[in-house]
Every structure is written in structure tokens, then in C-alpha cells.
Structure 1
Amino acid sequence: MLHIPTWKRALIWAVVAAGVLLALPNVFYSRVESHNDAARAIEQSGATPEREAALAGWPGFLPSGLVNLGLDLRGGAHLLAEVHVEDVYEDRMRGLWPDVRNALRAERDAVGPVRRVDGPAGELHVRLGNPEGMARAMEVVRDLARPIVSLTGVGASDIEVRGEGDLLIVTLSEAEQQATDRRTIQQSLEIIRRRVDEVGTREPTIQRQGDTRILIQVPGVGSAAELKALIGTTARLTFQPVVGRTDTAGAAPGAGNVLLPSLDEQGVFYIIEDRVVVSGEELTDAQPAFDQNGRPAVNFRFNPTGARKFGDYTAENIGNPFAIVLDGEVISAPVIQSHIPGGSGIITGRFSVEESTQLAVLLRAGALPAEMTFLEERTIGPELGQDSIEAGALACIVAFCAVLVFMALSYGLFGIFANIALLLNVAMMFGLLSMIGATLTLPGIAGIVLTIGMAVDANVLVFERIREEMRTARGPARAIELGYERALSAILDANVTTFLVAAILFTMGSGPVRGFAVTLALGIITSVFTAIYVTRLIMVTWFDRARPKTIEV
């Protein structure tokens, strides 16, 4: 006989109620979104009357998760950027020079005095005082080579060394260039993602295109220029020794030095040693603050390695100026007054509050490893795809109504039970999408339309099986029970195979394809649950009260 334990009935209705409750915020989308934005802003920057009013617009005890709208539904910014990976080659050669210089100085008797000379970008040119020692110099520099850390370059060295007359030329090997390109693009992707996440933007699409290009699509951003300003800045912070200062723009800085302009003082230039004591990559935190004079500033803190370098340098250079350089400009050049062992400090300058906040965001996210050129930038409004949006919404409504009418006409009261389950199924699907913070795009709407059509498949299988059992079974209760038992294997087979397809689409696809896969997979889960448990529970509850002698399916 039909029987569902009380605890199981309570559990089924609890799951349904949780799904509907999670989907509820989407009915009041703008109000809940304002509430969430206000809560985030209060946490980061403090409360204001406007933020508190927006926060009060939605009860705090209710769920506040929303289904995020994709770029094609909400509008936003679209950028296509090309990463200049060759910049990294030049940085590598610049960083290799001190090691090469020290190694060759140890062989001074064989190679003579050495000095670096200008050469093409990505190449290190060293002139030897004794050209006869070229073979020994090449051997010494090759000993500095390191094995490549990559699957395709196993066993290869990271540098190549050759001699031309009295010039020793060092370049990255081809295998190391390929490995460096991959690392640079991957690091750029991660840093862009962190910068976008720092400002609270929902569900951006950030992915690699081709060998050196990155596609960035961020829903909800006001303009492409705003997004470009956020992620296009390299934000490379370094701490370097100061040699001197001058008012002459074309002054010769001398060997091993560079001439950099001051950010605060117009017409002032600093002569800086071309070596980095501590870099922004060793920062662990940066927060907007105010200095002792009440001016906007940025507090920073180094990791243990950076703190040790910073502490050692300040201990050895008390009384000397120390330049804080951001993207090739000297923010400030304070004189070291005492040993700073804690690995923390403050960056001051002529910042506004907004500029200090943005600088802190950029420093926390890290520096882009190479400069980017934006090949394509667009600000997209949702009205650009309004026809598609309206067509998708219309398809959802038509499909939903057609299924409801078909089930009611085909199966009578049992069809109405299936329709109730279908309504709950859609609500639970949106509840799951809200819970995981998924992004809904036009392909995602297509997945919902497909789910609506598939949602009643399981009920159709059950109802047709019940019809067959009514001809042979002993009473309606036994027919319903056998109908569910014998239709279960077909229901599971059909939905498991479709779920596997959705999983493959999610794994192999990207962007909109993943959006379709997510809605399809979640729709399968909720439709199976509602067909096997919810529809059956409604049917059993009705049967317990009505006790019919026969049933019409």
C-alpha cells in the first residue's frame, strides 16, 4: 500500500520550502541588490544615511542571494586586451645582470673588466675587456642557467649564451620563452580577476583568447573606460635607492641608474639606482588610510621575505633617501630616520580619497606582469539584445503555459498535481541558482526552457505506467505504487545521461556554454526530485483523504 513516513514528508516539504525561500529575493531583484550593495559598502567604507536606508529595504533574516544577470541581459563592459609578453623578457634580463656581473668579476683575470652595454629588448649584452676569455665567460654564465619548470621544456635550460667578438650575449631560450608566455598570461588572468573582484563586480567573464590575448566581460560596470582604468594600470610598486635629484629632464643618470620624474613635484626628477630592494609583489596587504596630517595615504605590509629585506636595508641606510616608485614615477622619497623592522609602512602623496582607495585595490591585487594594449572596448547596454531577451522570455512563458495545459488536458487531476510540482520545480531551480551565485545569460534561459519541457517527462512516464497497471493491478493504490517502482529506472536513465552531457559541456565549454550547462544540470536535479518525491507526496496525500475506489489517469 501507499505509505510515506511522516519524517520523510516533513523533509520533502522542508527542502521545497528552502528552495522557494532562496528564490524569493529574485522577485524583488532591485531592492535586494541595493541591500547587498549597501551591506558591502558599509563593511568596506562605513555607514551613511543612504546606505542604511538601502540596507533596511530588505529584511536581514531573509536570504539575499540573487541570480546574477549576464552581460547580454544586464549590460556592462567588454574589453579585448593583448599582453606584451616581451616586456617580461626584458625584466628577466635586467634581473639576471647582477648575477652575471658578479660571476664574471670572479673571473676577472681571464675575461678582464666587464660592463653592460645597450642591446635589443630581451637581450643582455656584456662587453668583455679581454675578448680572448670569451670561452671562459660563456662557460661561467652558462653555469647560471636553471632547468625549465614546464612539461614541454623538461631538460632544457632557461638561457642561451653566445659570443660575438668582445660581446657576450645572453637571451632566454625558446622553451623558456614559451613557458614564460604561459606564466605571464596565467598571472595576468588571475590579477585581472582579483582586481575586478575587489570592487564587488558579480560574475565577470575573464578568459584567454589565442596566445597573448585576454577577453574581459564584466556585467554591471558603467563603462568600458571605467573598467579599463581599473585593470589597465600595471601598478608596479618598487622601493629603490636614491642617488640624487635634479631639475633637468635630460640629465644623464649614469651607468646603472635611471632618471624618473616626481609624481608630486612638477619639474623634479630623481636619479634612482636600477635595482629593486623590495617590490610590490612582496606586499601582503594595502589599505587606504590617512597620514598624521589628515591627508589620504595607503598603509602597506610586506610578507616575511619582504619585511626582512626592508628591515635590513633601512638598518644599513639610516639618513639616506629611499624612493617609492609606482609605474615609473617617484611617489615620494623619504629619508630613512631609523631601522624599520616590522615590514610595514605608509605611502603618502597628493592623493584624493578615491585615488588612495584605488591604489590600495591595485596593490592588494598585485602588479600586472606586463603591459596590456586594449584592442577592443565596448560599453554594452541590455537594450542592445532586447529583442533576444524578449524572445527568450516569451519562449519561457509559452513553453510553461503549453506544458501546464497539456498535462491538465491529458491527465486530469494527476496532471494538475504535476503542474503544481512544475511550479515548485522552477522555483527550486532559481533557488539553487541564487545559492551558488550563478550568472544567467541568454543560453541559460534556453536551458530553463529546455528544463521546463523535460520536467514533466518523468511524470508522463509514471502516469502512463499507472494507466497500464490499472488494467492488471488490484486497486488504485497498488497501481500507483507499481507505476512509480517500474518507471524509476527509465527516469534515472534518461536524466543521468542528460546530466552527464551537461557536465561535459560545463567542463569543456566556457562563458555562455557553461551558463547553459549550469541551468540544464540544476534543472535536471530539481525536476527529478519534484517528479519522484513532490508529485508522489501530493498524490499520496490526496489519496489518503479521498480514498477513491478507482482513478482516472
Structure 2
Amino acid sequence: MLHISPFRQALIWLTVAVGLLLALPNLFYDRVETHNDAIATGAEGAGWPSFLPSNLVNLGLDLRGGAHLLAEVNVEDVYASIMDATWPEVRDALAAERDTVGFVTREESPADELIVRVSDAAGADRAAEIVRGLARPIQTLTGAGSTDIEVVQNGPVLTVRLSDAEKLAVDDRTMQQSLEIIRRRIDEVGTREPVIQRQGDERILIQVPGVGSSAEIIDLIGTTAQLTFQQVIGPVDDPDSPAGVGQEVLPSLDQEGIYYILDSAPVVTGEELVDAQPAFDENGRPAVNFRFNVSGARKFGDYTLDHIGTQFAIVLDEEVISAPVIQSHIPGGSGIITGDFSVPESTNLAVLLRAGALPASLDFLEERTIGPQLGQDSIEAGQRAALVGGLLVIVFMGMTYGLFGIFANIALIINMGLIFGILSLIGATLTLPGIAGIVLTVGMAVDANVLVFERIREELRTAKGPARAIELGYERALSAIVDSNFTTLITAGILYYLGSGPVRGFAVTLGLGILTSVFTAIFVTRALIVVWFARKRPKTIEV
């Protein structure tokens, strides 16, 4: 007897309802996206009910327009940073044996070298031995058995440089850090599904949909947001004031014409920062609260304890944003950055500090902006293709199978909604090839219904009753439906596994379309027919 249990009926229609509910936000794309961006930046969302789902199908660069950038990472910058960080360690190690090696001074040197001179030439051999003892083994497989630094002695002058194995490890680490920091910076300001991937040894491809110009992304990425706390040697009014080796002259951000001579070796760096949040100071002005990790808090606390009454500088991107006098010991590793900020500037600064400083500067070799008009043309072309294809299929099914064709058409519309519901749920990105996969699915979606209806026709010719014919039609067409769709699903899986970019987008929509079309053909159309048959109780049927 043609029958579906109430439980199975409820399960089928619940699945349909959930799928269509998930697809609903895509009908109000701009409103929901504005709501989501407000939530992502910590503001209160508006314009979309909070009890409704708010996941969207992300539109790719070819559909929405956006920015395309190719950046080169200057890994040599990191070598200079490592050498600067090595100098205090070398200086302290040699100072511990001053009786043997004499006084230690740092000489001018290339960015990737540290040149040290000892005043007692007789102790140069001992000095070289001490510095070599600071070398650490490299922990990578390719650098097994090597150390991170090499020391060359030339009389009383020691040249410390990175080993080749360490340079390779640093290059790889720098690229990985740059990729992660760029991804965090772009994602945290609410943009959708950027493509950020490594190309070659020192280049990064960045594609961000929905951005008005590439300059917006360059401004966001290019800001280093490197926070350091450095000892103040003294204020000056001339940027060309002489500074000793290991010192630098930086301008004040708020006080025009004021400069500070600082110790180049920072007390604490932004790398030890664990949190930064926009806030307001005691006067109600925008500021940024920060907090260090355990090691940073200890360094910060020890420094403030030993330097009460002296100035220290809070430096952001080589500008002194504040140079307060240490009034007392500051334990806990927490503090506040004040300055001439607006509320958006303090919020953006907090985002950049949380993301961290780029380990090296970037050179943008290629930048393109794909206008939204081009993306809109692609969307409209895809919509026209889907609409024409869908209408032709609907007309064909209605003319060929009558009322049963109408049931198939209702299932086809539900099928489209389910595809977009699943794409929204998994956060997939829809590209132009993805639309091609959906258009292909429109034609394939009714294939299973055609097999079922033709089988019902055959069963009716054997003088069986309509209920029995419908039941046998679904049962005996099932194997053919599963076989044909399973082979296509395997093909989609191979395309996804072996392909990349647009090919994967096509494979995803094709695979999802196969699953939803089988569900709607086997369950939804059958449920519709069962409801109709239970109400009409026809003696004969025309398929």
C-alpha cells in the first residue's frame, strides 16, 4: 500500500524546513552581511533578527569584485632583527669575563651580521669561544646537526652571522608567520573568505572579495603595528642628533619637533602581547588596554622595579606614542596606551596589536581591483542561465508528466533552496564555476524523477492499481537512481581532490546538488504524491 509513516513524513518536511531556513539569509544578502560585520567588530548587529540564521554563501572574487594582490616578503629584515636581539646576549656573556676579554663594543655591520670588537686582543680567542657557546642547535629536520650562528674571528673583531641552515629555517618561519598574521588581520575586520596562499619561496597571493580597492587591503596589511617598550636615553629636538651604537632616534607621535634617543634593544615587544582591547582613559579619551604573557609581564615588572623615576618609551611603528616617567613598580603585565586616537583608530589599533606585527616588510609586486560591476555582470549571467535552464526543465516536466511533473517541479525548487542552505551552513564560497555546477544540477535534478515516472508508466500497463504502480515505480527505479548518481558523485569527488580553485568550486556545488536532488526525488516527490493520493483516492492516474 502507498504509505509513508507520520514520523518519516515529519522528518522529511523538517529537513526541508531547516534547509530552506538556512538558505533564507541569502535573499537579504546586503542586510545580513552588514549585520554580520557589525557583530564581528564587536558592535551590536542590526537589521536582521538574531533568532534567524545569519550564515551566507560567500561570493568569490569573480562574482563580487574585490582586491587581488601579490606581495613579496623581505625576509632579510628578519635577519637584522635577530642580530639586534643577539647583541644584548653577546654583550652580557662577554661582560661576565671582562677581565679576560676587556671592554666590548658593537661596530657598524651589514643587516645580517653582528660585528663585535673586544678591547683586549689577547682575549679574542676566549671571546670567540664564549660567543660560539651561545649557539643553539637547529630543531628542523633539514638543519639537523647545525647551529643557528657562525662566529668568524679576525684579530680582536668577531663577526657573528646566521648559518645557512638557520637562514632557511628563518625564511620558512617568516613566511608562515606572515601568512597567519595577514589572514588574522583580514579576517578580523569582517571580510569574507579571503584567498591567502604562499606562492614560491617569498611571495604571498592575497585575494579579498567585496573590497572597494586594493589600497584598503594594502593599508591594513602594510601597517606593521609593532609595539615595543624601550629605555629612554634622553629627549632631543634634532632628528639628526648623534646616537651611539645600539641606539636610535625616533620622533614623538603627539609632540611635533620632539625626538627621543632610545636604546635599540626593547625591554618588551609586541610578540609577548596576549591581548589588546579598545577602551577609554580616565579622561574619557579613546585608548587601548594591553596585557602581556607571563614572560613579558615578568620583564615589564622587573624593568619598572629597577628604573623608578626614569622615562621609558612606548613605541609603535617607530614613533614614540608616549614616554611616561615610571612612578612605581608595575606588576601584572597590564597597561594602557593613550594618544590622540579616535574611536575607530583605537579599535583598529587593538585589532592590529592582537594580530601581531609582521615579521618582515612587504613589497606589493602586483595589485588589481576587480570592480563590483564585473562581478555583478557575472552574477546576472549566472542567474539568467539558471533561470532559463530551470524554466525549460519546468515546462518540459509539466508538459510531459502533467500533475506528477508539477510535483517534480516543486521538488526542484526545494532542491535549489537546499543547495544554498548547505552552502551557507558550511561557509562555502560560490564562484562562477560553482554557478555552472548549480545550473548543471537543475537538469540532473529531474533525472531521478524521470526514471521513477517512466517506471510507474510501465507498471500501469500491467493492469496494477495506481497505488501499487506508484509504490513499485519507486522501488524498482531506486537501483538505477543510486547507480547513476553515485558514479557522478565519484567524479565530483575526484575533481575536488585533484583540482584547485574554480575546479573545486564546481565539484562542491555539483556534489551537493547530486545529494539534494536524490533526496528530493526519492523522498520529497514521494511525500507530495502520498499526500495527494491520500486526499484524492483516484481510481486511475495519468503519468
TM-score higher than 0.5: yes
Q: CA deviation at 1:252?
A: 1.8
Distance verdict in 2 for CA 1:107–1:465, change over 3 Å: farther
Is the 1:205–1:511 contact (alpha carbons within 8 Å) kept by the matching residues of 2?
A: no
RMSD, aligned CA? 2.8
Partner residue, 2:107: 117
Q: Is residue 30 from structure 1 mapped to residue 30 from structure 2 by the alignment?
A: yes
Q: Which runs of 5+ in 1 are unaligned?
A: none
Q: CA deviation at 1:313?
A: 1.4
Q: CA deviation at 1:424?
A: 0.3
SS in 1 for 2:136: coil
Distance verdict in 2 for CA 1:135–1:318, change over 3 Å: closer
Deviation track 1:247-270 (CA, whole Å, cap 9, x = no partner) reads: 122222213222222112222221
Is the 1:289–1:298 contact (alpha carbons within 8 Å) kept by the matching residues of 2?
A: yes
Structure 1 CA distance for aligned equivalents of residues 340 and 35 of structure 2: 34
Q: Is residue 14 from structure 1 mapped to residue 2 from structure 2 by the alignment?
A: no
Q: CA deviation at 1:157?
A: 2.7
Partner residue, 1:2: 2
Q: Is residue 145 from structure 1 mapped to residue 135 from structure 2 by the alignment?
A: yes
Q: 2:254 aligned to 264, 273, 279, which one?
A: 264
Partner residue, 1:307: 297
Deviation track 1:473-517 (CA, whole Å, cap 9, x = no partner) reads: 954444443443444344334444444554555556554444333
Structure 2 CA distance for aligned equivalents of residues 69 and 197 of structure 1: 15
Aligned partner letter, 1:260: L
Is the 2:456–2:469 contact (alpha carbons within 8 Å) kept by the matching residues of 1?
A: yes
Is the 1:301–1:344 contact (alpha carbons within 8 Å) kept by the matching residues of 2?
A: yes
Aligned partner letter, 2:5: P
Q: 2:407 aligned to 414, 417, 420, which one?
A: 417
Is the 1:241–1:277 contact (alpha carbons within 8 Å) kept by the matching residues of 2?
A: yes
Aligned partner letter, 1:29: Y
Q: CA deviation at 1:283?
A: 1.6
Deviation track 1:309-361 (CA, whole Å, cap 9, x = no partner) reads: 21221122111111101111111110011111122111112223332222112
Q: CA deviation at 1:295?
A: 2.6
Is the 1:239–1:278 contact (alpha carbons within 8 Å) kept by the matching residues of 2?
A: yes
Q: Is residue 451 from structure 1 mapped to residue 441 from structure 2 by the alignment?
A: yes
Partner residue, 1:89: 79
SS in 1 for 2:2: coil
Distance verdict in 2 for CA 1:85–1:386, change over 3 Å: same
Distance verdict in 2 for CA 1:453–1:134, change over 3 Å: farther
Structure 2 CA distance for aligned equivalents of residues 262 and 133 of structure 1: 42
Structure 2 CA distance for aligned equivalents of residues 388 and 158 of structure 1: 52
Partner residue, 1:288: 278
Aligned partner letter, 1:152: T
Structure 1 CA distance for aligned equivalents of residues 431 and 500 of structure 2: 13
Aligned partner letter, 2:24: L
Distance verdict in 2 for CA 1:216–1:10, change over 3 Å: same
SS in 1 for 2:437: helix
Aligned partner letter, 2:353: L
What pairs up with 1:434-445 in 2 under 5 angstroms? Answer: 434-445=424-435
Is the 1:195–1:362 contact (alpha carbons within 8 Å) kept by the matching residues of 2?
A: yes
Aligned partner letter, 2:162: L
Partner residue, 1:279: 269
Q: CA deviation at 1:9?
A: 0.2
SS in 2 for 1:374: strand
Q: CA deviation at 1:303?
A: 2.0
Aligned partner letter, 1:143: G
SS in 1 for 2:266: coil
Is the 1:311–1:342 contact (alpha carbons within 8 Å) kept by the matching residues of 2?
A: yes
Q: CA deviation at 1:421?
A: 0.9
Deviation track 1:256-307 (CA, whole Å, cap 9, x = no partner) reads: 2222221122222211112121111222222222222333221212222222
Partner residue, 1:323: 313
What pairs up with 1:464-475 in 2 under 5 angstroms? Answer: 464-469=454-459, 475=465
Deviation track 1:83-106 (CA, whole Å, cap 9, x = no partner) reads: 111111111122122223334445
Q: Given the two structures, how large is their TM-score scaled by the length of structure 2?
A: 0.91
Deviation track 1:16-46 (CA, whole Å, cap 9, x = no partner) reads: 11212222232233343444455566x43x6
SS in 2 for 1:26: helix
Structure 1 CA distance for aligned equivalents of residues 134 and 204 of structure 2: 34
SS in 2 for 1:240: strand
Partner residue, 1:192: 182
Structure 2 CA distance for aligned equivalents of residues 511 and 234 of structure 1: 30
Is the 1:130–1:166 contact (alpha carbons within 8 Å) kept by the matching residues of 2?
A: yes
Is the 1:262–1:268 contact (alpha carbons within 8 Å) kept by the matching residues of 2?
A: yes
Distance verdict in 2 for CA 1:38–1:186, change over 3 Å: closer
Q: Is residue 407 from structure 1 mapped to residue 397 from structure 2 by the alignment?
A: yes
SS in 2 for 1:77: strand
Is the 2:64–2:376 contact (alpha carbons within 8 Å) kept by the matching residues of 1?
A: no
- Would you say how many aligned residue pairs link Structure 1 and Structure 2? 543
Distance verdict in 2 for CA 1:339–1:137, change over 3 Å: closer
SS in 1 for 2:360: coil
Structure 2 CA distance for aligned equivalents of residues 302 and 505 of structure 1: 47
Q: Which moved more, 1:242-251 or 1:508-517?
A: 508-517
Q: CA deviation at 1:527?
A: 1.6
Is the 1:71–1:382 contact (alpha carbons within 8 Å) kept by the matching residues of 2?
A: no
Q: 1:535 aligned to 506, 513, 525, which one?
A: 525
Distance verdict in 2 for CA 1:328–1:507, change over 3 Å: farther
Distance verdict in 2 for CA 1:262–1:39, change over 3 Å: closer
Q: Is residue 255 from structure 1 mapped to residue 250 from structure 2 by the alignment?
A: no
Q: Is residue 161 from structure 1 mapped to residue 177 from structure 2 by the alignment?
A: no
Is the 1:72–1:382 contact (alpha carbons within 8 Å) kept by the matching residues of 2?
A: no
Structure 1 CA distance for aligned equivalents of residues 169 and 482 of structure 2: 46
Q: Percent of aligned positions with the same letter in both sequences?
A: 71
Partner residue, 1:69: 59
Q: Which moved more, 1:28-37 or 1:81-90?
A: 28-37
SS in 1 for 2:56: coil
Structure 2 CA distance for aligned equivalents of residues 143 and 460 of structure 1: 79
Q: Which moved more, 1:95-104 or 1:438-447?
A: 95-104
Q: 1:332 aligned to 322, 329, 337, which one?
A: 322
Is the 1:204–1:216 contact (alpha carbons within 8 Å) kept by the matching residues of 2?
A: yes
Structure 2 CA distance for aligned equivalents of residues 149 and 503 of structure 1: 38
Q: Given the two structures, how large is their TM-score scaled by the length of structure 1?
A: 0.89
Q: CA deviation at 1:82?
A: 1.4
Is the 1:160–1:171 contact (alpha carbons within 8 Å) kept by the matching residues of 2?
A: yes
Q: Which runs of 5+ in 2 are unaligned?
A: none
Is the 2:107–2:245 contact (alpha carbons within 8 Å) kept by the matching residues of 1?
A: no
Is the 1:332–1:349 contact (alpha carbons within 8 Å) kept by the matching residues of 2?
A: yes
Is the 1:241–1:323 contact (alpha carbons within 8 Å) kept by the matching residues of 2?
A: yes
Q: CA deviation at 1:233?
A: 0.5
Q: Is residue 240 from structure 1 mapped to residue 230 from structure 2 by the alignment?
A: yes
Aligned partner letter, 2:62: D
SS in 2 for 1:432: helix
Q: CA deviation at 1:423?
A: 0.7
Q: CA deviation at 1:62?
A: 3.2
Q: CA deviation at 1:370?
A: 0.9
Structure 2 CA distance for aligned equivalents of residues 464 and 181 of structure 1: 64
SS in 1 for 2:117: strand
Structure 1 CA distance for aligned equivalents of residues 529 and 369 of structure 2: 52
Q: CA deviation at 1:234?
A: 0.7
Distance verdict in 2 for CA 1:500–1:106, change over 3 Å: farther
Structure 2 CA distance for aligned equivalents of residues 148 and 508 of structure 1: 35
Partner residue, 2:88: 98
Partner residue, 1:484: 474
Structure 2 CA distance for aligned equivalents of residues 249 and 388 of structure 1: 54
Q: Which moved more, 1:59-68 or 1:299-308?
A: 59-68
